[in-house]
Amino acid sequence: MYSFGSLAESPKTVLEPLAEISHRFGAISLAQRLEEIKVWLMDDLVILEQDIQQSSSAEGDLADRAASHLLHQPGKRIRPLCVVLAARIGGQEMSVDVRNLAVACELVHAATLLHDDVLDEGTERRGADASRVLYGNSASILGGDRLLIEALKRVQSTGQNELLSRLMDVIAVMVQAEAIQLERRGEFVPDSAQYMEIISGKTASIFEWGLRAGGVVGGLDEAAVSALSSFGMNLGMAFQMADDVLDLDGDPEVTGKNAFADLRDGKLTWPLIVACEEDPSIEPVLRAVARSPAALTGERSREIRELIVGTNCLEATRERARQFAAEAEAELAKLPESSATEALKAVVSVAINRGV
């Protein structure tokens, strides 16, 4: 049914970027576990990767090309992987429905990246030029629109109307989180409740949906689906907090992110909130940065970064991420142990150990 020819040239399979990260940070045993998962799921991962890359045509119109460029960059594919693993818990191996739900997850994520890069005037994404740099803002907007619709159509094709309805809600919540973030641009208010609302909307909600989708299509009962959803929500929160740490602590070569990019974009992150709590003199400094991010030169940027990481904020954020990870694992413990639950545990470890 599938032709694998074109994937011979595809340099990265799904877990390689994740395994690479673990290797670089010396988490060898974690990398080994990922390697094992990779071998175990190889056929599924090849199908997924091919389907993701073929969701948009590099020879199509401008919107297609903008979408295709992003989809061909090596992403972590952590969301579709979660869907596949959740479906396996119910004993459901890769089917057309599993594949459509998994790919839908990645396409929604990709659509938000295309739109976000326009919103944030981002120039790089996944270590390459952002689509908007190559094809323009307009193509990125239309490319995002197209991927959203493609994702919704794939979910509808499964006949799971409740999942479709929930995915629409997730997209609405993602848009809302972006809108709040947009509204707060130019301000810096270390509001931890709002922070949690934003990351649960923009990051965790699609993880929650993906795990639910896998569970539903895997035929699990309501209690198990609910545990998986909650696992997904907690995994997503942990994942985003680890991302926050990378913004201040990571090596841009590895993370594919510009150091300090969140602060420049006026995005609230957990380390900044903790830093202000620990040292109230930091708050006015960050407020000034938020007001005029362009004035943040290299020298001043280093000074402020030192001020922030001089507090306990990075460790406190890692600790909070570990708490979410522990809550995720507690949800997983409600399900019978299997290779799939073990693999999901490895995903959690990778999510929080990216920036170890």
- Considering only 7, 46, 134, 175, the residue that binds a second copy (CB under 8 A) is 175
Q: Which of residues 48-77 bind a second copy (CB under 8 A)?
A: 61-64
268 interacts with a second copy by CB under 8 A: no
CA distances from 139 to 66, 119, 126 (A): 6, 13, 18
142 interacts with a second copy by CB under 8 A: yes
Segment lying near a second copy (by CB under 8 A), choices 176-184, 244-252, 267-275, 347-355: 176-184
96 interacts with a second copy by CB under 8 A: no
Minimum distance of a second copy from residue 133's CB (angstroms)? 16
- Considering only 14, 130, 164, 325, the residue that binds a second copy (CB under 8 A) is 164
Minimum distance of a second copy from residue 139's CB (angstroms)? 6
189 interacts with a second copy by CB under 8 A: no
**Which one, 94 or 180, has the nearer CB to a second copy?**
180
138 interacts with a second copy by CB under 8 A: yes
Amino acid at 31: A
- Considering only 10, 53, 137, 301, the residue that binds a second copy (CB under 8 A) is 137
Strand partners, 301: none
**Which one, 139 or 246, has the nearer CB to a second copy?**
139
Q: Is 253 exposed, middle or buried (0-12, 13-18, 19+ CB in 10 A)?
A: exposed
Build a one-symbol-per-residue string for 99-128: x at contacts with a second copy by CB under 8 A, - elsewhere: ----------------x--xx---------
Binding site for a second copy (CB under 8 A): 61-64, 115, 118-119, 136-139, 141-142, 145-146, 148-150, 152-153, 156, 161, 164-165, 168-169, 171-172, 175-176, 178-180, 182-183
